[in-house]
Amino acid sequence: MTRQRTLAFRCVWLALLWLSPCSLLALPAFVELPQAQASKWPDPVTWFTLALAVVGGLQWLTFRAQTAIIRAQSRAHVFIDGFDTLLYTLDESPCESPGTFDRGDGEMVEKALVPTYFAIRPRWKNSGATPTDALWVNVNVNEPGGDLPDNFTYHYNRPRTLLQPLFVGPSAVEYSEPFNVNTAFATKIINYGNLHPGEEPRMFVWGRADYRDVFGYEHFTEWCYRIHFDRPPNQKLRTLFTQWGPHNRTDDASRPGRRWFRRRRI
């Protein structure tokens, strides 16, 4: 019976030992425990060792929880902060003058409504207290048509191995490289919208940012926007963006109950 009690005590002690380095303080007392005292149950040394292991284990669990909270509060949080657009029309060309021109089918079109260059520059913001260790951005756009179906695949043309990593400092804003859009897509929307207001084809741009924080954990942000074109009176053609669909999400929101501090490699 004495051997069974001693074995049970040692199993409990070893199970708690890995939780707390503080339990090492009780190791000499346990190893050098005289056989006469070990046969007594309970004895002061046994209770002291067990209490020290339990208290040390609770302290270690508390330390781990506090460390996770600090990481969650200070880690990088990257999201899409908006867009800058580069949009040039035919009337801005050096060899062109303002006015209209024959599109070729007998219809006269304003030169100010004919894009000659269209590019989108996504703007990224890090709201965290620490910088990103690396950030990879991928963007794509679809040909004008109807709404995106529920099972639409948000695909990208470039694998991450071909992307240039970015760095975003704490509470900083950075731009990723401009994404060129086929001007025929924009022209189709603008011309159809002039003839049938409110019924123009819909064009969408979507993107994804994969980033690693300074603690070694990886996250992602996804977004999707509809592109609109508008021209106020006596002003230039401009581009507007409206958030669209369920593709606007982050890794925190898409995984309910996930322990964010679990290290995961992309």
Q: Residue 199 contacts by C-beta under 8 Å, 6 or more apart in sequence? A: 192, 193
pLDDT digits (tens, 9 = 90+) for 97-135: 666 666 666 667 777 888 889 999 999 999 988 999 989
For residue 157, the model assigns a pLDDT of 86
Which residues span the domain enclosing 8?
A: 2-73
Asked if residue 48 belongs to a domain, the reply is yes
Section 170-191 average pLDDT: 89
Same domain, 134 and 22: no
Same domain, 57 and 184: no
Tell me which of 53, 73, 93 is where a domain ends.
73
Same domain, 43 and 90: no
Rounded CA-CA distance 181/157 in Å is 13
Same domain, 112 and 211: yes
For residue 195, the model assigns a pLDDT of 55
Asked if residue 259 belongs to a domain, the reply is no
Same domain, 101 and 158: yes
Same domain, 92 and 210: yes
Asked if residue 229 belongs to a domain, the reply is yes
Asked if residue 266 belongs to a domain, the reply is no
Q: Check whether 48 has a pLDDT greater than 70.
A: yes
Asked if residue 218 belongs to a domain, the reply is yes
Asked if residue 261 belongs to a domain, the reply is no
For residue 187, the model assigns a pLDDT of 84
Alpha helices in the chain (DSSP H): 2-17, 27-31, 35-38, 44-74, 183-195, 251-254
Asked if residue 263 belongs to a domain, the reply is no
Same domain, 27 and 88: no
Residue 132 CB neighbour total at 10 angstroms: 26
C-alpha torsion sign, points 165, 171, 177, 179: positive
pTM above 0.75, yes or no: no
* C-beta of residue 154 within 8 angstroms of C-beta of residue 191: no
pLDDT band at 175 (very low <50, low <70, confident <90, very high): very high
* C-beta of residue 226 within 8 angstroms of C-beta of residue 146: no
Alpha helices in 167-255 (DSSP H): 183-195, 251-254
* C-beta of residue 205 within 8 angstroms of C-beta of residue 120: yes
Specify the number of domains making up the chain. Answer: 2
Tell me which of 50, 73, 96 is where a domain ends.
73
Section 139-155 average pLDDT: 88
Residue 167 CB neighbour total at 10 angstroms: 13
